[in-house]
């Protein structure tokens, strides 16, 4: 995972044809995340899992609710929303999940993600009752993710809109060990490259559903980058 540069994120609540899914899985991306905010059901997750499993690409479930958790993924990412105003999204949903799944949890496959949601119009921003952080807040969350919580991943989530590369750069300067993941609004190969200059991994989601051909080009765009 330390070598990963690019991830596609598929939403189990959205339709994708077999042809498009095959192209995503065979694109050369480093991994595919299954994850979303609304209407994530076990059926939707199992459908994508079984179809992605026809390919060798690593497959990750980003857990959004306890009901849709299933075995069979290579990794499980558990988000903690650092700029939520509710303890629920930092502690309580994880507590509930661990009470249910503790006997079957393999911590080799589980990664905690410190999420910072930076688009006020994103569904996840409202859903988790976030407060918009200023730059200093974001840098402090990044610092806390690495130094205080020792999280493996700090995720700058701009879901649905292209973020501020300058801020991504400043956050990257704050982190040594924790991986910086950027996601949000990447449509073109150039945008993927710009964010990859600072982030360790870029995530491309929605544009798979709106302009697949362009989205697939974001893989090669970042592959040669350090």
**Where does this chain bind ligand 1GP (CB under 6 A)?**
9, 157, 159-160, 183-186, 203-207
Paired tokens of 172 = 């990257």
Nearer residue to ligand 1GP within complex by CB, 147 or 169: 169
The residue nearest ligand 1GP at its CB is: 183
Smallest gap from residue 147 Cβ to ligand 1GP (A): 24
Sign of the alpha-carbon torsion through 143, 148, 154, 157: negative
Smallest gap from residue 48 Cβ to ligand 1GP (A): 15
Nearer residue to ligand 1GP within complex by CB, 146 or 157: 157
Nearer residue to ligand 1GP within complex by CB, 147 or 167: 167
* 23-26 long-range Cβ contacts below 8 angstroms, 24+ apart: 23/212, 23/216, 24/208, 24/212, 24/216, 25/52, 25/54, 25/55, 25/57, 26/55, 26/57
C-alpha of 63 from chain center: 10
Smallest gap from residue 203 Cβ to ligand 1GP (A): 4
Nearer residue to ligand 1GP within complex by CB, 69 or 125: 125
Report the DSSP pairing between strands 110-117 and 153-157: parallel
């Amino acid at each position: 995972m330390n070598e990963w540069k690019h991830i596609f994120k598929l939403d189990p609540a959205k339709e994708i044809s077999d042809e498009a899914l095959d192209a995503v899985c065979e694109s050369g991306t480093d991994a595919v995340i299954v994850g979303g905010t609304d209407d994530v059901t076990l059926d939707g997750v199992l459908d994508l899992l079984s179809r992605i499993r026809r390919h060798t690409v690593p497959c990750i479930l980003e857990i959004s609710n306890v009901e849709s958790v299933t075995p069979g993924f290579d990794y499980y990412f558990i988000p903690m929303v650092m700029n939520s105003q509710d303890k629920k999204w930092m502690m309580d949903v994880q507590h509930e999940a661990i009470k249910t799944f503790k006997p079957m949890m393999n911590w080799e496959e589980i990664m905690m993600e410190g999420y910072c949601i930076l688009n006020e119009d994103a569904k996840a921003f409202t859903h988790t009752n976030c407060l918009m952080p200023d730059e200093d807040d974001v840098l402090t969350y990044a610092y806390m993710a690495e130094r205080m919580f020792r999280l493996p991943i700090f995720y700058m989530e701009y879901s649905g809109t292209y973020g501020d590369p300058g801020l991504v750069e400043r956050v990257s300067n704050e982190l040594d060990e924790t991986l910086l993941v950027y996601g949000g609004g990447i449509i073109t190969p150039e945008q993927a490259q710009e964010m990859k200059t600072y982030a360790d991994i870029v995530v491309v989601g929605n544009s798979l559903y709106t302009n697949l051909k362009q989205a697939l080009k974001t893989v090669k765009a970042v592959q040669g980058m350090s």
